[in-house]
Amino acid sequence: MTVGRDSIMESKTADLDKVKFKVFVGVCIYESKVYAVASDGHVYIYDKQRKLLKWMNLKVDRAFGCSVSEGRLFCACSDGIMRIFKTETLEHIITLSRPPPLGETNILTGVSKIKIPSNNKTKFADILAVRLDEKN
């Protein structure tokens, strides 16, 4: 991704009146837009004039970070949830499969596919960060 002179954001205060009490845990810049994820699980998109373009609820208990690559926004969330959206529209692409619950494994000898039952007491590790390697 090349960064041209027009795509660099100036360091001015954004108009955050509606979100001034939010705790932002992840911020990414892609194609002159700022993608910000708040700890309460909301995503906000701002343009380079600091105008709020879109926002969305991830429908998770907490969010912990985000990353952007090739037109996709990756959101790291609580309970092993990783949601992926299109950057332009915030259209949901996929929610990745959760890892095995805490204290469980997904390895059994001679079994190719394992279904791990879950209930209200099942706990999954939070995804605290997401980092993408565009070359590999």
Name the CA dihedral angle for 120, 123, 128, 130, rounded to a multiple of 10 degrees: -80
User: Alpha-carbon distance 85 to 64, whole Å?
Assistant: 16
Domains of the chain, start order? 19-131 (2.130.10.10)
Q: Are 127 and 82 in contact (CB under 8 A)?
A: yes
The pLDDT value recorded for residue 92 is 95
Among 53, 22, 52, which Cα is nearest to 39's? 22
Percent of residues, the chain, with pLDDT higher than 90:
54
Amino acid at position 79, single letter: D
- Cβ of 43: how many Cβ atoms within 10 Å? 21
Residue at token pair 């007491």: 121
User: Residue 136 pLDDT > 90, yes or no?
Assistant: no
How far apart CA 107 and CA 88 sit, in angstroms, is 39
Report the predicted TM-score, pTM, of the whole model to 2 decimal places: 0.77
Q: What percent of the chain has pLDDT over 70?
A: 76
